[in-house]
Structure 1
Amino acid sequence: MKRIKMGCTTLSIPAMALGIMRMNQKSVLEAQVAIQAAYDAGINFIDSADIYGGGKSEEIFGQAFSQMQIKREEMFIQSKTGIVPGKRYDFSKEHILHSVDEILERMQLDYLDSLVLHRPDALMDPEEVAEAFDQLQAAGKVRFFGVSNFDTAQFKLLQSCLSQRLMFNQLQFSLKHTGMIDFGMHMNMVDKPSVDRDSQFLDYARLHKVTVQAWSPFQYGMFEGTFIDNDGFPKLNQELQKLADKYEVGKNAIAAAWILRHPANIQMLVGSMNPQHIRDSAKGAKIRLTRQEWYDLYLAAGNYLP
């Protein structure tokens, strides 16, 4: 498995992480098979969130992982907090501290390697978040911190009050969600792709050594479905198959290789619980697409160049 530097540190993490959003749909044994498949492929990074399956995903993970032979220190385990389902976003100190305690209990852990704030809270008080982070770190409950779906200004605002460096920002990025790179190639134009919806965060991340974690790497829309083997995207799947045949892998691996080819050292979150899909996706970390192959996929996905 390809390894990348984590944020501004010298620590290395795998270029892929296993997202356990759908683990609530699996038995403990099935969860163990998925975790083991990822681990065997070099993916020793777990990404979770307190809202996944209403907390059940973390419960299943905790039960499964506690019975496995993998040592805790061999895994990097991350969870997210800040969403109160159907009600609000909540970055209050009280909510953050309480959520972490519940996460640790569900996952049967003594500490998290990383805590990520899930979606921007309009009522965020950066100084209050800083107090929560300091308390969690001092108590040994969380080692590192990050955010998810933050724009550049939001990221800078929070960072300005923290004693810790933010390591991550989780952002949607895939062959069918390319906004972060579209606007740069359509600079000084008035067409739709020229609109910067992400405040140039990818460039900011490269300048300030922040690890971007790409979520929904095989999805189109927002959880509308996968574009892999989807009849609605014939040209893209034809190009994926062509390269899959060349590199002797599956389409998932090629779609993953496309993300990892970007020089920003992006970490991709694999959300599948299917061991075969996990193994095939992991193969993408070993493939370095040529520039032409990367652009051929970009164009096959429905994008165009000015």
Structure 2
Amino acid sequence: MKTKNIVNGPQNVSRVILGCMRMPALSVEEAAGIIECASEQGINFFDHATCYGDGEAEQRFGDAFAKTGLKREDFYIQSKCGLHFDRMEFDWSRDDIIKSTHESLQRLHTEYLDVLLLHRPDLLFEPEEVADAFDKLYKEGKVRYFGVSNVTPGELELLKKYVKQPLVFNQLQFSLDQTQLIDGAFYLNNLTTDRSTDRDNGVLDYCRLHDITIQAWSPLQIGMFQGCFIDHPDYEKLNLELARIGEVYGVSKTAVAIAWILRHPAGMQAIAGTMNQEHLKEFCDSTKVDMTHKEWYDLYLASGKFLP
């Protein structure tokens, strides 16, 4: 497993993250198995959110991790707060951030989070309240590093005006199907395609300029949650290209699709949401692929794009 050092953040983090959103579907024993499998593959980073199963994902992970015999200090545990679908509200208020973090710690059976992310913008957020919450959590040793998820450059600048701690991660959707992060700049000033539309205010370049590592979520999904493009009949050309490159490196199409994300010079991490051990191993094989410049473009074009 390849690792990277995060500027102003955790060191030697795995390029592949195990996302635990689907963990509530597993028994405690099965969850322990996928955690152990991840560790064996070199994954040392786990992603959670308070809204995943309304906390059940964190609880299942906490119960399962305790059964593995693995050492807490050898892993990075990240959670996200702010989404409350139960009350149809996004909330970045000081009290909610603190309360949500304490509840996550209880469910995860840990004394601290390595990373806390603000999960999608609260349209009414007060940056001073966020800063106060982060200060309290940091000084108490409850959270070591901070970041955001699905947040624009403007919102990041507003947060940075008040927040003392570096914001070191931004979790964003990116895949061979969902390429908005790069399309706007590539098709700049081109009226022949809506891919020229700026959908994210240049957040990719902003993150690179400010040493914020992007964590790519749903890296194999069509749209947000419309299934996987691997072996999907509507993505025949892409799958043929994934298979061709996979033969070169002796890995699966899944591994190639993730390697395409990791090849980008932004140095992203990719979040594996699978709870299937064999699929997770395929996912991790991505770090064995030393993808060429030409292969990267071949895949981008096979996914339905064109050279402007």
TM-score when scaled to structure 1?
Answer: 0.98
The AA in structure 2 aligned to 1:119 is R
1:264 is aligned to 266
1:138 is aligned to 139
The AA in structure 2 aligned to 1:68 is T
Structure 2: unaligned runs, 5 residues or longer: none
Superposed CA offset, 1:175-222 (max 9, x none): 000011111111222231111111111111111110100000000111
The correspondence of residues 1-306 of structure 1 with structure 2, limited to 5 A, is 1-9=1-9, 11-86=11-86, 87-190=88-191, 191-306=193-308
User: Which sits farther off after the overlay, 182-191 or 223-232?
Assistant: 182-191
Q: How far did 1:245 drift?
A: 1.6
Q: How far did 1:225 drift?
A: 0.8
**Alpha carbons of structure 1 residues 9 and 63: separation in structure 2 relative to 1, 3 Å:** closer
State how far apart, in whole Å, the 2-side matches of 1:150 and 1:274 are: 30
Superposed CA offset, 1:258-289 (max 9, x none): 00000000011111111111111111012121
Superposed CA offset, 1:101-132 (max 9, x none): 11011111111000001010110100000000
Structure 1: unaligned runs, 5 residues or longer: none
State how far apart, in whole Å, the 2-side matches of 1:7 and 1:189 are: 35
Superposed CA offset, 1:123-151 (max 9, x none): 01000000000000111110011000001
CA contact (8 A) 2:9 2:145 kept: no
Aligned length: 306
TM-score when scaled to structure 2?
Answer: 0.97
State how far apart, in whole Å, the 2-side matches of 1:89 and 1:25 are: 25
CA contact (8 A) 1:126 1:161 kept: yes
State how far apart, in whole Å, the 2-side matches of 1:69 and 1:243 are: 38
Q: How far did 1:9 drift?
A: 4.3
CA contact (8 A) 1:7 1:168 kept: no
Q: How far did 1:6 drift?
A: 1.2
The AA in structure 2 aligned to 1:268 is A
The AA in structure 2 aligned to 1:205 is C
Highest RCO, 1 vs 2 (Cα 8 Å, sep ≥ 6): 1
Q: How far did 1:10 drift?
A: 7.3
User: Which sits farther off after the overlay, 43-52 or 288-297?
Assistant: 288-297
Q: How far did 1:8 drift?
A: 3.6
RMSD: 1.1
User: Percent identity between the aligned chains?
Assistant: 48
State how far apart, in whole Å, the 1-side matches of 2:12 and 2:282 are: 22
Q: Which runs of 4+ in 1 moved over 6 A?
A: none
State how far apart, in whole Å, the 1-side matches of 2:118 and 2:23 are: 20
State how far apart, in whole Å, the 2-side matches of 1:9 and 1:19 are: 19
